């Protein structure tokens, strides 16, 4: 079974600083996708960034980047120059390439302090 673990229930960061959210996953598959989703309070979940397992290069989307360590099954999210609007629940998710069953971690609540 594939499981996703987010070991940090809560994190906080000062505005304009950098924060890293951790995620580990367990799988025996070699071909899969990893995602970070953001869920602001009372708002819809949106995709922040994704990574294909076959790609060695870490994905980057503006201020968001990942550190994908396939052998260690680790997929952390780095948010640079944190903004107040980054405050949200962040979920790490895993999906096998040939499945539509996406597995989510329990989430990390990020607080951004002005």
> In terms of C-beta density within 10 A (0-12 exposed, 13-18 middle, 19 or more buried), how is residue 32 classed?
buried
Decide: is 26 part of the binding site for another protein (CB under 8 A): no
Among 28, 56, 57, 100, binds another protein (CB under 8 A): 100
Decide: is 45 part of the binding site for another protein (CB under 8 A): yes
CA dist., res. 108 & res. 7, Å (int):
8
Given CA atoms 85, 41, 47, 1 in this order, what sign does their dihedral have? positive
Among 2, 8, 24, 50, binds another protein (CB under 8 A): 50
Q: Which of 107, 111, 109 is CA-nearest to residue 5?
A: 107
Decide: is 107 part of the binding site for another protein (CB under 8 A): yes
Q: Which is nearer to another protein, 79 or 93 (CB)?
A: 93
Question: What residue ranges bind another protein (CB under 8 A)?
Answer: 4, 33, 37, 43-47, 50, 52, 91, 93, 95, 99-107
């Amino acid at each position: 079974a594939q499981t996703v673990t987010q070991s940090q229930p809560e994190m906080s960061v000062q505005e304009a600083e950098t924060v890293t959210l951790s995620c580990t996953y367990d799988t025996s598959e070699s071909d899969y996708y990893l995602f970070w989703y953001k869920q602001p309070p009372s708002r819809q979940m949106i995709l922040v960034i994704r990574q294909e397992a076959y790609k060695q290069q870490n994905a980057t989307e503006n201020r968001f980047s990942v550190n994908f360590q396939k052998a260690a099954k680790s997929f952390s999210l780095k948010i640079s120059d944190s903004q107040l609007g980054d405050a949200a629940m962040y979920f790490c998710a895993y999906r096998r390439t040939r499945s539509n069953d996406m597995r989510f971690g329990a989430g990390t609540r990020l607080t951004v302090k002005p």
